[in-house]
Amino acid sequence: MILEISPEQKAFQQTVEQFATDRVRPQAAAIDEDAAFPRELIREAARLGLMGMTIAPPWGGGGRDYVSYALGIEALARGSAVVAVIAAVNNSLVGEPLEEFGSDSQKEQWLRRIAIGESIGSFALSEEHAGSDAANQQTVARLDERGYVISGRKVWVANAEAADLVVVFAATEPGLRGRGVSAFLVPIDAPGLSRVTTADSLGVRGLGCMDLEFHDVRVGTDALLGAAGDGFRIAMWALDGGRVAIAAQALGVGQAALDEALHHARTHEAFGQPIGNYQAIQWMLADMATELDAARMLTLKAADSRQRHARATLDASMAKLFASEAAHHAADKAMQILASKGYRRGSVVERLFRDVRATEIYQGTSEVQRMVIAEQILQ
C-alpha cells in the first residue's frame, strides 16, 4: 500500500497552492468583510482551469482525477473558504451531473461554459422544509402540452448571486417523495424566476447565497436533466462528489487554522518564552495536526473511491463528517492558542472559526452524514 500522490498530482497541487497564496489569501479578508461574490478572482481561477477541474477536456474541463480535485479544493480553501466552495459547487454539483446525465445538446449549451467558468452554476435542492429531508420537495413542476411549469421557493442557493444556470429539483409526481422528483436546467434569467436576498450569514460570506422564487417558470421538456423521476438519484449522485469536495474544503480551513496557531506558538511569548514551549499548547497543536492528517487520509480515500466507483456514498459521508469536525476542532483550538489576538474581529482565526462551521451544515449536516453511514454499514 503506497500512500503517495503522483508527481502530476503534486504539480497540480503546487500550482493551486501558488495561486491561493499569491491571489486568493490576500483577498480573503475583503471577501468576508464585503460579503461580495468575488467575480474577478473566480475569473482568474477559471483561467487556471479551477472551475471545471474534473470535467473532460473535450468539454473545456481540466480532466483532473478526483484526488487532484480534492487537493485543489483543499489548497483553495487554505486561501479562502468561499472561493473553494464556489468552485466546488460549480464543479461537483453542476458540471459533473451535466456531464454524467446531460444530453449532447444540454452539454453543448451549458457544460463547456460551466467548465471554463464563462457561466457560473448553482444547485437548488433545499427548501424551508426540505433540508435534511430533501425528498420532501414542495416545489412542483407541472407537465402540460408545452413543457413544464415550475412553482415554489428554494433556499440558501450558493453562487446564485452570480449564476447563469441553476440545477433545480422539483416534484413532478408529488406524494412519491424521492421517486417523484425531477431535475431541470433553468437559466437564471428565465421569466418568473426571481432571486431574493436573504439575511446575512455567520461565515462563508461572499458565497452569493440567495433564495430563488419560481412563479410559474416555463421550461421545455428538453430542460429535464436525465429522465423524469430521476432527480433525487441525480442529486444524491452529485452530493457524493460534493461531499468529498466539502471534506477537502474543511481540511483547507483547518490547515489554515493550524498554520496560524503554529506561527503564534513560535512567535508569541508569555512568562519569558514562546508559548509553543508549553506542553499545554504543544498538545493542542499535536491533536490538531493528528486529526487533520486523519481527515486528509479519509478525504483522499473518498476522492479515490469517487474516481473509481459508480457511487462513493459511504466514503464521501465519512470523509465529510470527520473532516468538518476535525477542522472545527482545529479552528477552536487555534482560537484558544491565539486567545485575545484570535478573538479580535478581523483576525484570520476569527474568520476561519466562522467559515468552518458551515462545513458541518451544508451538503448534509453531520447528523445526516451519520444517518447515511449507519444505513450503509447496516445494509
Ligand X SMILES: Cc1cc2nc3c(=O)[nH]c(=O)nc-3n(C[C@H](O)[C@H](O)[C@H](O)COP(=O)(O)OP(=O)(O)OC[C@H]3O[C@@H](n4cnc5c(N)ncnc54)[C@H](O)[C@@H]3O)c2cc1C
Contacting ligand X within 154-183 (CB under 6 A): 156-158
Between CA 13 and CA 123 the distance in angstroms is: 26
Contacting ligand X within 64-103 (CB under 6 A): 89
Show the DSSP H helices in the chain as ranges.
Answer: 7-19, 25-34, 39-47, 66-79, 81-88, 96-101, 104-106, 112-115, 231-267, 279-308, 313-338, 340-343, 348-357, 366-378
* Segment interacting with ligand X, rule: CB under 6 A, options 136-144, 255-263, 322-330, 362-370: 362-370
* Backbone angles phi and psi of 227, in degrees to 5: -90, 160
Binding ligand X by CB under 6 A: which of 82, 149, 165, 209? Answer: 209
| 365 is an interface residue for ligand X by CB under 6 A | yes
| 367 is an interface residue for ligand X by CB under 6 A | yes
User: 56 vs 361, which CB is nearer to ligand X?
Assistant: 361
Q: How far is the CB of 158 from ligand X (least distance, A)?
A: 3
* Segment interacting with ligand X, rule: CB under 6 A, options 35-43, 204-212, 224-232, 296-304: 204-212
Q: How far is the CB of 124 from ligand X (least distance, A)?
A: 5
Cell (9 digits) for 141: 413542476
Q: How far is the CB of 369 from ligand X (least distance, A)?
A: 9
| 375 is an interface residue for ligand X by CB under 6 A | no
Between CA 102 and CA 200 the distance in angstroms is: 34
Asked if residues 207 and 162 have their Cβ atoms less than 8 Å apart, the reply is no
Q: How far is the CB of 341 from ligand X (least distance, A)?
A: 27
Asked if residues 373 and 321 have their Cβ atoms less than 8 Å apart, the reply is yes
Asked if residues 211 and 198 have their Cβ atoms less than 8 Å apart, the reply is yes
Asked if residues 292 and 113 have their Cβ atoms less than 8 Å apart, the reply is no
Q: What angle do CA 12, 13, 18 make, to 5 degrees?
A: 100
* Segment interacting with ligand X, rule: CB under 6 A, options 22-30, 118-126, 289-297, 340-348: 118-126
| 131 is an interface residue for ligand X by CB under 6 A | yes
Q: How many residues bind ligand X (CB under 6 A)?
A: 22
Binding ligand X by CB under 6 A: which of 124, 165, 183, 217? Answer: 124
Amino acid letter, 323: A
Q: How far is the CB of 291 from ligand X (least distance, A)?
A: 21
Residues forming contacts to ligand X in the complex (CB under 6 A) are 89, 123-126, 131-132, 156-158, 201, 204, 207, 209, 358, 361-365, 367-368
